Amino acid sequence: MTQLWPTLIILGPAGLLIGIGLSIAARRWQDHSDTMIERINKLLPQTQCEQCGHPGCRPYARAIARGEADINRCPPGGDTTIRALADLLGKQVKALDSSCGEHKAPLLAVIDEQRCIGCTLCIQACPVDAIAGAAKWMHTVIAAECTGCELCLPPCPVDCIDLVSLADQPQRRIPAHVQIPDLAA
């Protein structure tokens, strides 16, 4: 028993020190860094739809990096994005938080140019400046830039914006026996 004391005296504080060091390190490297935010942001679909409750994908990425938001809040990304995030952050994959919205196939906004009154409200709402037009002139959506975020819909006073499916023509149909995670999403 007398043998034990020196050991305890040496190892005890050493252990304590190491423990403190580790916890500081953990806090320190709990990655708030911009690179972590960038890496998370890279996995988000960049629809900028704000359904996650953040004003855009990057803010959501920042919230995730800080541990302030869960990883299952992005409807446009769906399961694929959740899986990628879980992978990156070493977290459990979980189902999409349905309070944020449902996953949908990618969409594209189209303005009915006959009905548009040129009020510019949609331009102000569009997060990626994908609408071209000036006051009193008819507006149009630049198809290649629109993310289908739907943010331009509510402000339009004449409801002249529609969403159409953006699905590219598939090269081939994939037979039912092919089971791939991305296909389930």
Partner 1 sequence: MTRMAAGAPHIPAQTSVQKVMAQVLLALLPGILAYMYYFGVGILVQITLALLFAYTFEYLSLSARQQPLRNYLCDLSAAVTAVLFALSLPPLAPWWCSLIGMLFAIVIAKHLFGGLGQNRFNPAMVGLAVLLISFPRIFTHWSPPAMLVDNPLSMLEVLRTIFTTQPPPGMSWDAITQATPLDQLRTGAATGLLVTEVRQGPVFGHFGGLGWEWIANWYALGGLWLLWRRVIHWRVPVAVLLTTFMLTTPFYLFDPDANPLPLQHIFSGATVFVAFFIATDPVSGSATPRGQLLFGAGVAIIMLAIRRWGVYPDGVAFAILVMNMFAPLLDQYTRPRVFGHPR
Partner 2 sequence: MSGDLPVMIHPAGAYLHGFHGGLKLRHYKQISTARALAQPPLPEYLQLSLQQHAGSPAIAVVKPGQHVTKGELLARAGDGLSAPVHAPTSGTIAEIQTLPLLRKPARSAPSIRLHPDGEERWHPDCERSIGNWRDFTPAQTMQRIAASGIVGLGGAVFPTASKLSSQWQTPAHTLIINGAECEPYISCDEMLMREHASEVMLGARIVAHALGITEIVIAIEDQLGALASALETARSQLNDEHILVVRVPAVYPEGGERQLIKMLTGLEVPSDGYPQTLGLACINVATAWAVKRALLDREPLIERVITVTGAIAEPRNWLCLLGTPIQHLLQCSGGLTDPGARLVIGGPVMGEQVTDPALGIDKGSNCLLALAAEQLREPQQSMPCINCGECVRVCPAMLMPQLLYHGIRKGDHALSNRLQLTDCIECGCCDLVCPSQIPLTDYFRAGKQLQAQQRQQQARADKSALRHAAREQRLQDEAAQAARKEAERQARASNPDQAQAVIGAALQRARLRKQAQKHNRNDTDGDTS
CA distance 61 to 157: 32
The tokens describing 76, both together, are 């446009």
Among the listed ranges 12-20, 42-50, 93-101, 110-118, the one in contact with partner 2 (CB under 8 A) is: 42-50
Residue 173 contacts partner 1 per CB under 8 A: yes
- Between 80 and 120, whose beta carbon lies closer to ligand SF4? 120
Residue 164 contacts partner 2 per CB under 8 A: no
Task: State the pairing for strand pair 131-132/140-141.
Answer: antiparallel
Q: 161: which residues sit within 8 A by CB, 6+ positions away?
A: 109, 110, 111, 112, 122, 141, 152, 153
Among the listed ranges 4-12, 17-25, 43-51, 172-180, the one in contact with partner 1 (CB under 8 A) is: 172-180
CA distance 51 to 115: 28
Residue 147 contacts ligand SF4 per CB under 6 A: yes
If contact means CB under 5 to 8 A according to the sort of partner, which of partner 1, ligand SF4, partner 2, none does residue 71 touch? none
Among the listed ranges 13-21, 25-33, 112-120, 164-172, the one in contact with partner 2 (CB under 8 A) is: 164-172
CA distance 74 to 51: 7
3-class DSSP state of 76: coil
Return left, alpha or beta for 86; rule: phi > 0 is left, psi -120 to 50 is alpha, else beta: alpha
CB of 100 to partner 2, least distance (A): 18
Contact 56, 48 (CB under 8 A): yes
Which of 128, 132, 166, 185 is close enough to bind ligand SF4 by CB under 6 A?
128
Residue 58 contacts partner 2 per CB under 8 A: yes
Binding site for ligand SF4 (CB under 6 A): 44-45, 47-52, 54, 56-57, 60, 74-77, 109, 111, 116-122, 125-126, 128, 130-131, 133, 139, 141, 146-152, 155-158, 160-161
